[in-house]
Chains A and B, each alone.
Chain A
Amino acid sequence: MKTFKIGGVHPAENKLSAGKAIETLALPRQAVFPLSQHIGAPATPLVKKGDTVKAGTKIAEAGGFVSAPIYSSVSGKVNKIDTVIDASGYRKPAIYIDVEGDEWEESIDRSTTLIKECDLTPEEIVARIKEAGIVGMGGACFPTHVKLTPPPGCKAECIIVNAVECEPYLTADHRLMLEKPDEILVGVSILMKAAKVNRAYIAIENNKPDAIRLLSDKAANYPGIEVVPLKVKYPQGGEKQLIDAVISRQVPAPPALPINVGAIVQNVGTVYAVYEAVQKHKPLFERIVTVTGKSLKNPSNFLTRMGTPMSQLIEAAGGLPEDTGKVIGGGPMMGKALMNTDVPICKGSSGVLLMNEKEAKRTAPQPCIRCAKCVSVCPMGLEPYLLATSSARGDWERVEHEMIMSCIECGSCQFTCPSHRPILDNIRLGKGKVGAIIRARNTKK
């Protein structure tokens, strides 16, 4: 079975909510929309205090080409434009909307009928995706229309749909595939048309045999789409690892992009959002979010309106357990620990994970015993121990030479370290410094 070639680990899967059908979460009383829910320039607000909006009303315009507009997920009145602490832990400008009723924009097709035909030209499709504010929903939040617009000289050869969901605990993508398989396949066909390619691969890890079977059966009716089962290994959902696993090509070091090896990778949630945007005229304002944790009463998958506070999802899943030690936005390997549960669900929020006090505590580090396990598991072929110690010493020249900027921060090294050393913490420190040094050097030129 296919997988990526270098490194990788296999954390306990803990997919507690895999058997739970997607439930629609009740509307929040107030929805909060940070203006930076994507990589690139923040969006600029189009509404002011007191304005009335509907679900699907554009409330902020894209701040540039690499940016995305933001749509209200609820109907009601704009309460204020203020700041909110988002999943990154920083205060960001945000629009607050008080919810009244649930009115949608008339242009949105709310029926569940499958629309297969799409007569739009590739340019029209990309324009509609751009207008709908779609970004990568796996967590990176890179604007989708940018990926579909290859830089001059590059030609896309295939679409790879990232349905790997290699993070432990998360099941949002898995449930989506089981419940919306046709919509996903139509979405893939639309993306193929937009990117002018005739091949697409849907990559699914082998721990989701039901999704592999269902999509393989249905894919027979869609020309050019192939379901590729992959061996379970983390971080297979990393873009570079996924390309290696599926088409056995490796993306050269930055500034090269996946498109340089002919691949466009899109998360399966993004593909579904593309279907809804193109075929149903529905901009991106809802997503599936997994709420999970070993102490949580009822781990679930919720269809959630953007801007809903995480506390509401936790309540709906049985309430915050007494012994909660850490709240994580995303999965346990790459997610971010949150300061409080008021953080709103954004375009990239794939899950909310509650860890109990015992799981949340780190073990005290011991000296590095140079066991080389971090080197063996690094999916980028780096030497994490060296990057960490050199970063801690402040030897920025050395870590840049040792390719610290190639690190994808998957955490495999720290996960596997027998001495429990904070390897990735130190590497992040080094990446930050080296990144600043490189930027300064480039501006001088």
Chain B
Amino acid sequence: MTLLSIVMANKLIISLSPHIHSGDSVQKNMYGVLIALIPALLVSFFAFGLGALIVTLTSVAACLFFEWAITKYILKREQTTIMDGSAALTGVLLAFNLPSNLPVWIIIIGALVAIGVGKMTFGGLGCNPFNPALIGRVFLLISFPVQMTSWPQAGQWGAYLDAETGATPLALMKQAIKTGDASVLSDLPSSLSLLIGIPDSCQMGAGCLGEISAGALLLGLIYMLWKKIISWHIPVSILATVFVFSGLMHLANPVYASPIQQLFTGGLMLGAIFMATDYVTSPMSHKGMIIYGIAIGFLTVVIRTFGAYPEGMSFAILIMNAFTPLINTYCKPKRYGEVLKK
């Protein structure tokens, strides 16, 4: 052994291959999704003004606080995880699922349920079976049905709790089905205004923070696909299923809203692009992702059309979250050499 190698032997690192890494990280992915949410966030500030700002800030701050407090005092872990971006992301997504006139105390309860029950109970990031933000939203929807379904109209910049409310497009669509009168649907905002997010009829309640502009959400999708944060399988299969399924129903009976109206209203885009694609709670193989997406799209249209609630996206996603382990067990990726085995 040369002198040099004796010296080096004490400090050379021995580890197994691979010796390089792509440089990707949890933080990059989480903050990447947050960046993708910026267009929709800007549209919501523009549409709801002060209310949107208060709801978003409260939700993010509460989520970060609960993550920190639970990690430190209940799980008693040394390292805090609030910097990994996942709690902030849950906060923004929860806010996106709330109306802009929701009182602060309800938002805080929502954040506690989302982070505390939805995520930390199971051990924190990576362990939760259900989407935490949706757990928070559905908990609030069932506990505070009145506050959670009064939708402020867009364009009231300075309003918060005092905002004027109105019926959402989804409520109109439900009404058309209940009354069997397709002419109600003509009161819906034009597809273009739904895409941009500024309803042209001002009496229209606009909905949750994050669901008013399909276009802004689509921008986020393009960004995430470009940055390879998510793959196309889940959002595309959801959107395609909703389009085809609601299209068939619309053709059969015009009482059912047209597929474009279905796609651009309510939480559909938000759910398909940002909620259903949550890493932790969605399937691992491409085949599984497509099955999961088709089932979500189908369940959403079924709930919207035949269920008690006007919106079915969050329920559909939560139901399919429960099926994810099953899908993972039965949907294996296409193995190399599989084609020839038969």
* A interface residues (Cβ-Cβ under 8 A, vs B): 6, 9, 11-12, 89, 168, 240, 244, 249-253, 256, 261, 311, 320, 324-328, 332-342, 353, 355, 359-363, 366-373, 375-376, 378-383, 385-386, 403, 406, 409, 411-412, 414-420, 424-425, 428
A406 and B19 in contact, given A311-B5, A325-B12, A373-B24 (Cβ under 8 angstroms): no
Q: Is the CB of B20 closer than 8 A to any CB of chain A? A: yes
For the complex, give the distance between the alpha carbons of A414 and B21 in Å. 7
- B279:A250 contact, CB within 8 angstroms: no
Partner of A325, one of B5, B13, B282: B13
CB contacts under 8 Å to A, within B276-307, are 279-286, 289
- B13:A363 contact, CB within 8 angstroms: no
A380 and B126 in contact, given A333-B19, A355-B19, A411-B17 (Cβ under 8 angstroms): no
Residues from chain B with Cβ under 8 Å of A380 in the complex: 335-336
Q: Is the CB of B334 closer than 8 A to any CB of chain A? A: yes
Q: Is the CB of B339 closer than 8 A to any CB of chain A? A: yes
A371 and B279 in contact, given A325-B12, A332-B20, A337-B13 (Cβ under 8 angstroms): yes
Residues from chain A with Cβ under 8 Å of B280 in the complex: 369-370
For the complex, give the distance between the alpha carbons of A353 and B12 in Å. 13
A367 and B337 in contact, given A415-B18, A428-B16 (Cβ under 8 angstroms): no
Q: Is the CB of B125 closer than 8 A to any CB of chain A? A: yes
Q: Top 6 A-B pairs ranked by shortest CB distance?
A: A411-B18, A367-B126, A381-B335, A340-B5, A371-B279, A372-B284
- B13:A342 contact, CB within 8 angstroms: no
Residues from chain A with Cβ under 8 Å of B16 in the complex: 337, 424-425, 428
Q: How many A-B residue pairs have CB under 8 A?
A: 186
The chain A residue sitting closest to B342, CB to CB, is A252
> Which of B25-33, B43-51, B103-111 lies on the face that meets chain A?
B25-33
* B interface residues (Cβ-Cβ under 8 A, vs A): 1-2, 4-6, 8-9, 11-22, 24-26, 28-29, 84, 86, 124-127, 231, 279-286, 289, 328, 332-341
Residues from chain B with Cβ under 8 Å of A335 in the complex: 17, 19
- B8:A324 contact, CB within 8 angstroms: yes
For the complex, give the distance between the alpha carbons of A122 and B203 in Å. 87
- B12:A337 contact, CB within 8 angstroms: yes
For the complex, give the distance between the alpha carbons of A42 and B116 in Å. 60
Partner of B22, one of A11, A244, A360, A403: A11
A409 and B17 in contact, given A369-B280, A418-B24 (Cβ under 8 angstroms): yes
A337 and B15 in contact, given A369-B125, A415-B21 (Cβ under 8 angstroms): yes
Residues from chain B with Cβ under 8 Å of A334 in the complex: 17-18
A9 and B285 in contact, given A367-B127, A381-B333 (Cβ under 8 angstroms): no
Partner of A240, one of B26, B231, B337: B337
What is the distance, in angstroms, from A244's C-beta to the closest C-beta of chain B?
Answer: 8
Residues from chain B with Cβ under 8 Å of A11 in the complex: 20, 22
What is the distance, in angstroms, from B212's C-beta to the closest C-beta of chain A?
Answer: 29
Residues from chain A with Cβ under 8 Å of B279 in the complex: 369-372
- A326:B336 contact, CB within 8 angstroms: no
- B125:A342 contact, CB within 8 angstroms: no
- B22:A9 contact, CB within 8 angstroms: yes
For the complex, give the distance between the alpha carbons of A368 and B124 in Å. 11
What is the distance, in angstroms, from A50's C-beta to the closest C-beta of chain B?
Answer: 24
Residues from chain B with Cβ under 8 Å of A353 in the complex: 19
Residues from chain B with Cβ under 8 Å of A244 in the complex: 336
The chain A residue sitting closest to B339, CB to CB, is A250
- B338:A339 contact, CB within 8 angstroms: no
Residues from chain A with Cβ under 8 Å of B12 in the complex: 324-327, 337-340
- B333:A333 contact, CB within 8 angstroms: no
- A333:B284 contact, CB within 8 angstroms: no
What is the distance, in angstroms, from A433's C-beta to the closest C-beta of chain B?
Answer: 16
9 contacts between A and B (CB under 8 A): A253-B341, A324-B12, A368-B126, A369-B280, A370-B279, A383-B333, A385-B284, A417-B24, A418-B24
Residues from chain A with Cβ under 8 Å of B17 in the complex: 328, 332-337, 409, 411, 424
Residues from chain A with Cβ under 8 Å of B125 in the complex: 366-367, 369
What is the distance, in angstroms, from A262's C-beta to the closest C-beta of chain B?
Answer: 12
Partner of B1, one of A89, A240, A342: A342
Residues from chain B with Cβ under 8 Å of A383 in the complex: 284-285, 332-333
Residues from chain B with Cβ under 8 Å of A375 in the complex: 284-285, 333
A379 and B8 in contact, given A333-B18, A424-B18 (Cβ under 8 angstroms): no
Partner of A6, one of B8, B328, B334, B341: B334
For the complex, give the distance between the alpha carbons of A129 and B204 in Å. 82
For the complex, give the distance between the alpha carbons of A367 and B120 in Å. 13
The chain A residue sitting closest to B334, CB to CB, is A381
- A381:B5 contact, CB within 8 angstroms: no
For the complex, give the distance between the alpha carbons of A334 and B163 in Å. 62
- A359:B29 contact, CB within 8 angstroms: no
- A340:B8 contact, CB within 8 angstroms: yes
A381 and B336 in contact, given A337-B19, A342-B5, A415-B20 (Cβ under 8 angstroms): yes
What is the distance, in angstroms, from A108's C-beta to the closest C-beta of chain B?
Answer: 31
**7 more A-B contacts (CB under 8 A) besides A327-B8, A386-B328?**
A12-B20, A250-B340, A327-B12, A337-B12, A366-B26, A409-B17, A415-B21
What is the distance, in angstroms, from A364's C-beta to the closest C-beta of chain B?
Answer: 9
